[in-house]
Chains A and B, each alone.
With several copies, the nearest count.
Chain A
């Protein structure tokens, strides 16, 4: 009944830029799908796999992440001995600057866990899966590290990792953000590694003056260690650009995909909010709309994701847009291909028109 693994989530990735949406929050705290944040998928996959001890490395911009995670109760991780561990950077008491020993807090977290394996995930993966097969495969194969991959075509120039695997799925080269070479194996940044091996790798890195820990750095150990791939079949969204974020949001209107991503068997958990039911008033139109509790809809909405507490005024027309929490779209506004961050106001009659590849993005708390 126990899974012999602890989890480690790399909660931010400085290399992924989502414009004004990234400013107030770590990448894993990005809202997605009406009521979630990306980290909800990362945490739920772990919890659903039976992992009961999860460390979240949050080096910067961790305020909104802390607020969201709270005691961990929403993921059933408010546990006595296990549970959720937020790993902030160590601060030097004298200089008041980060001690550049981010590795220390990771090492500390891993050392004190009783499990023999560590499941590490990067911060930008939207998928609904269990890690039990990966873990079993890893233990059977005897590899040092096992990394998930699929055969999605990766776009040039975006933060991605391509894997060069031999016919036994053994890693022999890693290509980051490849501009030129394309491989058929694309990393899904989830890996399993034995606790003691990870510790020795981290200790060695620290002693050589390395200060940070990224997924790429882990895979680059392929020279010294046996790293194997493990193919994953389900749908994965890698959120590594604004266009990909927008595309992933718009794909939620597909019934099959949505039901797969929000399976009732392996639910995606998120922070509980107590909003009243959504009210749809007469005179409104709602087609292909994912809406959330607390919304009040009076306008004409199509192909949109509305987060909790969004209001859409009379005569407003929304198309192909994503509206974050508590944003107010006033009467007669007209939006198409727009992403608006939370607590914003779009005033009466305002028109905003973006393009599928280049949505208009409005930052948090804006008044337009």
Chain B
């Protein structure tokens, strides 16, 4: 295998359980975003734009759709002869077989893969963040300051520091302490889950960590503290710009709405840092003779015949005549039939919302679908590949999955196929 200075590893194996039914048959990085993207488009495009040509995607949970989406990496210009994208699932060796147990263990199991490129640096990235970042700049700074590891950090509001892993640093941005979700933070520099390591240092730490039976084999919990204990130089690389973790229903909804409300912040029009995605071969989207569209994002193959306000309409989605969609995310291929009214609703891929269905926060009679653990702020979530029958009324904070097709067949039923690829 050809030498590569930098190898990037994207952790894409997590179940994303806080997204509930959206990730029941889908790895979180494959969740649709912003009308025409999947979340993993962001780290993959960042790699491509940063000139990184060897990218391993560590998968474990429901990888089929993700694998098909990534394919040979062509869409991100990452189908290279001596590099490109590699899907890295767990595997069996003569020493036995192991599922990935933690983020560090997942990388540990792929040491031979990384070794094959003899890299100087390894980037560890998350598959579920929305941001634009030049990793090559981070690697350059990492090299210039002579760090063993660099952790990208972003300033978060002080009142939110208890939700993040906080890095306490000296005046030279050398990290001297790592506080996981501190009640009383000493700094507001939160880890973005973007790490740059010298491969030789990381390799040794991974092997030591693996040998420690008490370790959870996690980067945040084990590897970083271990490196700090050893006195290695961990540098806090400050990132300025838009960065969102889309791990909850609320943050997924918020981040989608940012595309509408502050398009200049994430700036998807930036020609110098294109966010690539797998382009569907669909015609231009169409607004019918009676369409109403106000503050929406819409993509190839979609058709709007009804009224759509402040919503994200994804590839191939359809809103029929007299339907009303507001403050909602309609994922690829979903159909909203005539007379339906949706407010604050996330509709999964290929799901059909029947005629005159009403889903809205203001529906007050709480029904069986309400899930206040995962849903908040009135946002409802309908899983992919379902049919909501005509006339159903569903209150806010609802979450409807294929299981409800069994218990409430008169309201929900499941469509024959579950995989869209």
Which residues in A have some Cβ–Cβ distance to B below 8 Å?
A: 1-2, 33-35, 73-74, 76, 78-81, 253, 255, 258, 261-262, 264, 267-270, 272-274, 276-284, 286-294, 305-306
Kindly provide the distance from the CB of A315 to the nearest chain B CB, expressed in whole angstroms: 16
Query: What 5 additional pairs, Cβ within 8 angstroms, besides A74-B81, A276-B34?
Result: A1-B6, A268-B281, A276-B275, A292-B285, A293-B36
Kindly provide the distance from the CB of B204 to the nearest chain A CB, expressed in whole angstroms: 25
B6 CB contacts on chain A under 8 angstroms: 1
The reply on B35 being an interface residue by CB < 8 A is yes
Most buried by A among B75, B263, B298: B298
User: What separation, in Å, do the CA atoms of A219 and B304 have in the docked complex?
Assistant: 45
Residues 49-77 of chain B, each 1 if its beta carbon lies under 8 Å from chain A, else 0? 01110000000000000000000001101
B276, A291: Cβ atoms closer than 8 Å: no
- A309 to B, closest residue via Cβ: B269
A290, B283: Cβ atoms closer than 8 Å: yes
Kindly provide the distance from the CB of A342 to the nearest chain B CB, expressed in whole angstroms: 15
Contacts A268-B283, A290-B283 known; A280 to B51 CB distance under 8 Å? no
Give the contacting residue for A34; candidates B284, B289, B312; CB below 8 A.
B284
B286, A290: Cβ atoms closer than 8 Å: yes
- A79 to B, closest residue via Cβ: B77
User: What separation, in Å, do the CA atoms of A277 and B259 have in the docked complex?
Assistant: 10
- A297 to B, closest residue via Cβ: B293
Give me 28 A-to-B residue pairs in the complex whose CB atoms sit less than 8 angstroms apart, sorted by A's number. Answer: A1-B6, A1-B139, A35-B300, A76-B80, A76-B82, A81-B77, A253-B289, A255-B288, A258-B283, A258-B286, A262-B283, A264-B282, A268-B281, A268-B283, A274-B274, A274-B276, A274-B277, A277-B35, A278-B298, A279-B260, A279-B296, A279-B297, A280-B294, A281-B295, A283-B294, A284-B293, A287-B290, A290-B286
A34 CB contacts on chain B under 8 angstroms: 283-284
Contacts A1-B6, A73-B74, A278-B298 known; A33 to B283 CB distance under 8 Å? yes
A81 CB contacts on chain B under 8 angstroms: 77
Could you tell me which residues of chain B, from 289 to 325, have a CB within 8 Å of some CB in chain A? 289-291, 293-300, 312
A277 CB contacts on chain B under 8 angstroms: 34-36, 259, 268, 297-299, 312
User: What separation, in Å, do the CA atoms of A273 and B36 have in the docked complex?
Assistant: 12
User: What separation, in Å, do the CA atoms of A74 and B268 have in the docked complex?
Assistant: 23
A79 CB contacts on chain B under 8 angstroms: 77
User: What separation, in Å, do the CA atoms of A280 and B309 have in the docked complex?
Assistant: 10
Most buried by A among B77, B259, B284: B284
Contacts A76-B82, A272-B75 known; A288 to B287 CB distance under 8 Å? yes
A282 CB contacts on chain B under 8 angstroms: 294-295
B260 CB contacts on chain A under 8 angstroms: 279
Interface size of B by CB at 8 A reads: 47
A267, B282: Cβ atoms closer than 8 Å: yes
User: What separation, in Å, do the CA atoms of A73 and B73 have in the docked complex?
Assistant: 13
B289, A1: Cβ atoms closer than 8 Å: no
B285 CB contacts on chain A under 8 angstroms: 278, 290-292
The reply on B136 being an interface residue by CB < 8 A is yes
A35 CB contacts on chain B under 8 angstroms: 283-284, 300
Contacts A270-B281, A272-B75, A281-B295 known; A288 to B289 CB distance under 8 Å? yes
Contacts A79-B77, A280-B294 known; A1 to B50 CB distance under 8 Å? yes
User: What separation, in Å, do the CA atoms of A54 and B289 have in the docked complex?
Assistant: 39
- B280 to A, closest residue via Cβ: A267
User: What separation, in Å, do the CA atoms of A287 and B35 have in the docked complex?
Assistant: 20
User: What separation, in Å, do the CA atoms of A273 and B298 have in the docked complex?
Assistant: 16
- A259 to B, closest residue via Cβ: B283
Contacts A1-B51, A282-B295, A287-B291 known; A294 to B284 CB distance under 8 Å? no
A261 CB contacts on chain B under 8 angstroms: 283
Give the contacting residue for B293; candidates A74, A272, A286; CB below 8 A.
A286
The reply on B258 being an interface residue by CB < 8 A is no
B136, A2: Cβ atoms closer than 8 Å: yes
Could you tell me which residues of chain B, from 381 to 402, have a CB within 8 Å of some CB in chain A? none
Instruction: Give 6 closest A-B pairs by Cβ, nearest first.
Output: A34-B284, A276-B268, A1-B51, A277-B35, A262-B283, A286-B287
A279 CB contacts on chain B under 8 angstroms: 260, 263, 295-297
The reply on B417 being an interface residue by CB < 8 A is no
Kindly provide the distance from the CB of B171 to the nearest chain A CB, expressed in whole angstroms: 30
The reply on B208 being an interface residue by CB < 8 A is no
- B312 to A, closest residue via Cβ: A277
Most buried by A among B276, B283, B290: B283
A267, B281: Cβ atoms closer than 8 Å: yes
The reply on B364 being an interface residue by CB < 8 A is no
